[in-house]
C-alpha cells in the first residue's frame, strides 16, 4: 500500500474500529436517545455551498458541549460521511457532534480548508440556541489531515488571516480543546516531503513545492505559531509512523508548553499511521476522558 493510500484512507479504518469499541462499551449501558440532522448548509464561500451533519442528545435541556469532527484525506479527498458514526457516539455521550465538509485541493488550494473549518466553528456558535450548544465549550477532533486542521483551529486567531470571508463572521472561531490523531504539525519539515506526499498531497494543497511557497507552508504549520492562551491539546501518534513522523507531535507539544499551555502526547509504541487492538482502545479512552475533562468540568 502506498503512503498516499495510507494518508487518505488509513485513519478511516481507525475511526471505524474506534466506533466499534465505543459501541461495544455503550451496549453494556442504557442507550441515550439521539437525533440528527444531515446536509445542513453552514457556509457558502465563493458560491460553494458547504454542508455538515449533526448529531445531538435528544434528552436534557443542555447546553451541551460540542465537538467538530474533521475527516482525513490528505487535503485532497474524504468527506464528512466518514465521521457519521463518530458524531452519533459523541451525541450518546452528551455532546453535540458535528461533521463538516471543507473544500479540497487542488480545486480549492490553501487556505480554503482551514477557512471552512473555522466557519463550521462559527456556525456552531451562531446556532447555539437552536441546538442547545454551550458556545464556550467547543472542541476540534481530527484525523491525519483533519488533525492538522484541528491543530490550526487551536493555535490561530483572527490576526493570522485565516478566517476567510464567509460564514457567521461576527462569531469567534476559537476552540476550547483539540485532539489530533496522527496529524502533521510542521509542513516545513523535510522529513515530511517524501516524493509521494509532495506529489499527491502538499503540491496540490499549496499549488507548488515547499521551496517555491515557503511562507504558505510555514503559515499552514501549527508548530510555527505561538498562541497567547492555547487550549489543551491531546496529540495521539504512532511511534513508528512513516507517513507523519512522531516528532511532529512532540514539536507542537513543546511549542504549546512554552506558551503556557497544556499539551499531552500519547505515543503508541510500535504503531504506524494507523493502529488497532489494545492501543486503539487506549487512544479512544484517552480521547473521551480528555474531552470530558476539558469540556464538562
Structural element, H or E, at residue 40: strand 34-43
> Would you say residue 296 has pLDDT above 50?
yes
What is the structure's pLDDT at 89?
A: 87
Asked if residue 264 lies in contact with residue 235, where contact means CB atoms within 8 angstroms, the answer is yes
What is the structure's pLDDT at 29?
A: 57
Asked if residue 50 lies in contact with residue 102, where contact means CB atoms within 8 angstroms, the answer is yes
Residue 65 phi, psi (nearest 5): -65, 160
How far apart are alpha carbons 229 and 231 in whole angstroms? 7
The percent of residues in the chain predicted with pLDDT above 90, rounded, is 80
What is the structure's pLDDT at 30?
A: 61
CATH of the domain at 54: 3.40.50.1820
The catalytic site residues sit at 144, 241, 273
> Would you say residue 17 has pLDDT above 60?
no
3-state helix, strand, coil in the chain (%, to 5): 45, 20, 35
Residue 136 phi, psi (nearest 5): -100, 5
Q: Where are the alpha helices (DSSP H) in the chain?
A: 3-27, 84-92, 112-126, 128-131, 145-155, 195-197, 203-206, 214-219, 247-258, 277-295
> Would you say residue 18 has pLDDT above 80?
no
How far apart are alpha carbons 82 and 281 in whole angstroms? 19
What is the structure's pLDDT at 9?
A: 38
Domain count, the chain: 1
Q: What is the mean pLDDT of the chain?
A: 90
What is the structure's pLDDT at 270?
A: 92
pLDDT tens per residue, range 137-176: 999 999 999 999 999 999 999 999 999 999 999 999 999 9
pLDDT tens per residue, range 63-118: 999 999 999 999 999 999 999 988 998 999 999 999 999 999 999 999 999 999 99
How far is C-alpha 247 from the chain's CA centre?
19
| CA distances in angstroms from 252 to 12, 94, 261, listed in the order given | 24, 29, 11
pTM of the model: 0.92
Range of the domain at 267: 3-295
> Would you say residue 196 has pLDDT above 80?
yes
Amino acid at each position: 500500500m502506498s503512503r498516499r493510500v495510507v494518508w487518505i484512507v488509513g485513519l478511516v479504518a481507525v475511526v471505524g474500529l474506534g466506533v466499534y469499541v465505543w459501541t461495544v462499551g455503550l451496549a453494556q449501558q442504557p442507550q441515550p436517545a439521539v437525533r440528527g440532522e444531515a446536509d445542513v448548509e453552514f457556509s457558502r464561500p465563493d458560491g460553494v455551498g458547504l454542508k455538515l451533519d449533526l448529531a445531538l442528545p435528544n434528552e436534557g435541556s443542555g447546553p451541551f458541549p460540542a465537538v467538530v469532527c474533521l475527516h482525513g484525506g490528505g487535503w485532497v479527498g474524504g468527506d464528512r460521511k466518514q465521521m457519521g458514526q463518530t458524531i452519533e457516539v459523541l451525541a450518546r455521550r452528551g455532546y453535540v457532534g458535528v461533521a463538516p465538509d471543507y473544500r479540497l485541493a487542488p480545486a480549492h488550494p490553501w487556505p480554503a480548508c482551514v477557512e471552512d473549518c473555522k466557519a463550521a466553528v462559527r456556525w456552531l456558535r451562531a446556532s447555539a440556541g437552536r441546538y442547545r450548544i454551550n458556545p464556550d465549550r467547543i472542541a476540534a477532533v481530527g484525523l491525519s489531515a483533519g488533525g492538522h486542521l484541528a491543530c490550526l483551529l487551536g493555535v490561530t486567531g483572527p490576526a493570522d488571516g485565516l478566517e476567510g470571508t464567509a460564514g457567521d463572521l461576527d462569531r469567534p472561531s476559537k476552540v476550547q480543546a483539540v485532539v489530533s490523531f496522527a496529524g502533521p504539525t510542521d509542513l516545513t519539515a523535510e522529513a515530511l516531503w517524501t516524493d509521494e506526499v509532495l506529489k499527491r498531497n502538499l503540491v496540490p494543497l499549496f499549488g507548488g513545492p515547499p521551496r517555491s511557497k515557503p511562507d504558505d507552508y510555514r503559515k499552514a504549520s501549527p508548530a510555527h505559531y505561538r498562541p497567547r492562551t492555547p487550549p489543551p491539546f491531546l496529540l495521539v501518534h504512532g511511534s513508528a509512523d512513516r507517513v507523519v513522523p512522531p516528532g511532529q507531535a512532540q514539536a507542537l507539544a513543546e511549542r504549546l508548553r512554552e506558551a503556557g499551555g497544556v499539551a499531552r502526547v500519547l505515543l503508541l509504541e510500535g504503531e504506524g499511521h494507523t493502529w488497532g487492538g489494545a492501543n486503539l482502545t487506549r487512544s479512544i479512552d484517552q480521547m473521551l476522558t480528555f474531552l470530558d475533562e476539558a469540556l464538562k468540568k
